[in-house]
Chain A
Amino acid sequence: DQQVKQNSPSLSVQEGRISILNCDYTNSMFDYFLWYKKYPAEGPTFLISISSIKDKNEDGRFTVFLNKSAKHLSLHIVPSQPGDSAVYFCAASANFGNEKLTFGTGTRLTIIP
């Protein structure tokens, strides 16, 4: 039972344009959400997070939006750069992050120069 779903295995975006990665979750207990970025032959690295008490969190070029009623979150990257090409994992946790993380299957983002 996949509680965190990333339905797009891959996405290609032109350099300079906006990249939008989507994530859906089914467990209503989840209240803390994170995005991780993974380059080949490396472990995932933390990118940005959001708590369910907010609907938006911004960090430089990266913004995460949370729609609790739809159980949906998205990561926006503006503008997209070649170095953003990686696999992006969405993750969720209960108890405001004090419980284990459940990850999605990942979306491979390719930025086209």
Chain B
Amino acid sequence: DAGVIQSPRHEVTEMGQEVTLRCKPISGHDYLFWYRQTMMRGLELLIYFNNNVPIDDSGMPEDRFSAKMPNASFSTLKIQPSEPRDSAVYFCASTLRPNYGYTFGSGTRLTVV
């Protein structure tokens, strides 16, 4: 298995532009998580899905952020419009069951200028 695949690895965009981050979880994993890593807050959970259904989106910062999981093998995190304070590393993770531990992707480093 290739693990959790995230794309792009790096994204540089101008303030106000739409940004879409992509994630392919490990096949068979029922749970998918989107985290954001910052120096001040560490790894923050933004949203997670179980069987493609959003379960908890309480960590999504504001309406500019949205996430979808149209099928078991693909998820997107969209920021529209993007702002400089959104600059961070965004991680996707998946697991068969939460207490089995998560497998993380390599992350997308987003820079909004």
Give the distance to chain B from A59, nearest Cβ to Cβ, in Å: 13
Number of A-B contacts (CB under 8 A): 58
Q: Evaluate contact between B98 and A43: CB separation under 8 angstroms.
A: no
The interface on chain B, measured as residues whose beta carbon lies within 8 A of the other chain's beta carbons, has a size of: 24
State which of B11-19, B72-80, B103-111 sits at the interface with chain A.
Answer: B103-111
Q: Find A97's partner among B40, B99, B103, B105 (CB 8 Å cutoff).
A: B99
The interface on chain A, measured as residues whose beta carbon lies within 8 A of the other chain's beta carbons, has a size of: 25
Chain A positions within 8 Å of B35 at CB level: 103
Q: Evaluate contact between B48 and A100: CB separation under 8 angstroms.
A: yes
Give the distance to chain A from B94, nearest Cβ to Cβ, in Å: 11
Binding site for B on A (CB under 8 A): 2, 6, 32, 34, 41-46, 49, 89, 91, 93, 96-106
Q: Find A106's partner among B33, B42, B103, B104 (CB 8 Å cutoff).
A: B42
Q: Evaluate contact between B98 and A101: CB separation under 8 angstroms.
A: yes
Give the distance to chain A from B62, nearest Cβ to Cβ, in Å: 18
Complex interface residues of chain B between 68 and 109 (CB less than 8 A to chain A):
91, 93, 97-99, 101-107
Chain A positions within 8 Å of B102 at CB level: 46, 101
